A = this chain, B = another copy of it.
């Protein structure tokens, strides 16, 4: 198979099914057939069928006070085309432990009101367009994360907005849900859409552009994190804010989770990145304290649990292997970039950038710690990594800190076995992940590293018993999953090292 053929295919990691990419972007027939089934209904088009957009589509297709027709749109690319096909074929592209996902999806199948496509012609009929595409920060490679020279390239985002402007109605509500650099809705989205409308000879005074950020948490409460949660919104003008509010009221349980309207979209955009910067910063803050705890023979987990008794300190973070996910790893940088490039400040958000830099270095430290503590070379050592996801009990590998740890181990010539109960296929490293812990535990390892705090490892008697029965193995807990008692038991037979838990 030559490269050209390969790139013409999009493969579903869920089913293994391969789809040949379409030759053109034309799906008018499919779109028109779908719309013909829903006369009189308002059309909501969602741009971006990722972790947010595809599930947002389910929520809108099952709106509370309105019957919408929903079209999801994404690129006919190897990475996305299979999602489009999957949605239309009865296989929802996002796997999650939340049973509501399948419930909502099946309900939308029954109503036939959720269609997916790649043809921007879909925008032409939309009453509301939700923008749920990614806006990435370009960092250096995971193994060498030093952040010097990170970059925010708005080109793909602008192109996506332009694709809306080339088709949309002049009275559309474009509602940005993407996490964007503060200032984007007002200074970038609105001007592009107005320019497109003008180029098409259409008026711009009915255009509405709003911003309302999602707080989606993939996992057991995926749907609830959209439908049953507080929302903050604003408009680029009063009319846009009103239109945004009206739409949100139809899909979100605003009776229990009242909406918060802010003065302008700069404020809502800032609120989102500020929220995430706050969390990223609070983790970064704990990194130095963990090192101090190790030096002072202090168990940082014990200390943090004691501090969390205070209601005002409940959310103090625990250190660990590192910070992953799509938000905390980049949002502080989006904000700092915006301050300089969209508002012309000669100051960056120094502390927030520093927070990301510290967090990015955590897996490097975790690896150095292993190298220092493990007697001998890691070359050809058999290493079992328990956990690939960045988040407990969820199968999400986006920017997982396990990546940098894995890459360093790999570079050292270790032979790595991966386990994660929630990850079948690790997209970013194009490798399968074993989900059968008992069978893995029948094999021999030199080193066992706990890299994610899944319930399957935390307090697992099975795991401890197995470890106690085997020959000496170097056990390394990077996130404080093992209890003091378990460490006590294990130490009788194995060397055990825990990040942030100083030896006494």
Contact = CB atoms under 8 A, between A and B. Distances in A.
Interface in A260-300: 260, 262-264, 266-268, 270-271, 274-275, 277-279, 281-282, 284-285, 288-289, 291-293, 295-299
B284 A349 contact: no
Interface stretch (A27-35, A90-98, A152-160, A351-359): A351-359
A343 B293 CA distance: 10
A315 interface: yes
A299 B309 CA distance: 32
Contacts of A351: 284-285, 288, 351, 354, 358
B182 A270 contact: no
Contacts of A307: 271, 274-275, 278
Given A313-B275, A351-B285, A302 B263 contact: yes
B309 A267 contact: no
B349 A266 contact: no
Contacts of A440: none
A232 interface: yes
A349 B289 contact: yes
Contacts of A306: 232, 260, 262, 268, 271
Given A297-B266, A339-B295, A351-B358, A303 B285 contact: no
A230 interface: yes
B352 A288 contact: yes
A316 interface: yes
Given A262-B306, A310-B230, A292 B504 contact: no
The count of identical subunits is: 2
A313 B278 contact: yes
Interface string A301-320: 01101110110111110000
A442 interface: no
A278 B270 contact: no
Contact of A270 (B262, B296, B315): B296
A278 B316 contact: yes
B270 A293 contact: yes
22 contacts: A182-B296, A183-B296, A215-B310, A232-B309, A264-B504, A267-B303, A270-B292, A270-B296, A270-B298, A271-B307, A274-B289, A277-B289, A278-B285, A282-B282, A285-B351, A288-B349, A291-B347, A292-B345, A296-B339, A314-B315, A351-B351, A351-B354
Given A292-B270, A296-B182, A310-B275, A262 B302 contact: yes
A350 interface: yes
A271 B271 CA distance: 30
A453 to B, nearest CB: 17
A288 B339 CA distance: 10
A309 B263 contact: no
A335 interface: yes
Interface string A333-344: 001000100010
A219 to B, nearest CB: 14
A339 B293 CA distance: 9
Interface in A411-462: none
A292 B315 CA distance: 25
A281 B313 CA distance: 13
Interface string A250-267: 000000000010111011
Contact of A230 (B260, B263, B281, B309): B309
A82 B240 CA distance: 65
